[in-house]
Amino acid sequence: MRLRTIGLVAAVIVLMAAFAVPQQSAKAYADATSVSVSCSSFAVSGTTDAPYVTIYVELSGGDYYWTIVASSGGTYSGSVAYPEQPDGTYIFVQVWGSLNTYTNFEDPGYWDEDSYYEDELPCKASVPGPGAPAGWKLHWMACSSAVFSQPGGTPVGNDAVWAGQSFYVNPKPVLDDNGKSWSQVFVSSVISPWIPTSCVGAAVN
- Domain at 137-203, CATH class: mainly beta
Q: How far is CA 127 from CA 37, 38, 40, 191, in A?
A: 12, 9, 11, 18
% of residues, the chain, pLDDT over 90: 42
- 3.40.50.300, 2.60.40.10, 3.30.420.10, 3.30.1330.80: which CATH number matches 7-122? 2.60.40.10
Whole-model pTM? Answer: 0.57
**Confidence label for 1 from pLDDT (cuts 50, 70 and 90):** low
Sign of the four-CA dihedral 81, 176, 156, 28: positive
Residue 14 pLDDT exceeds 50 = no
At 103-141, the pLDDT tens digits run 888 888 888 678 899 999 998 775 545 567 889 999 989
At 156-165, the pLDDT tens digits run 888 888 888 8
Domain ranges of the chain: 7-122, 137-203
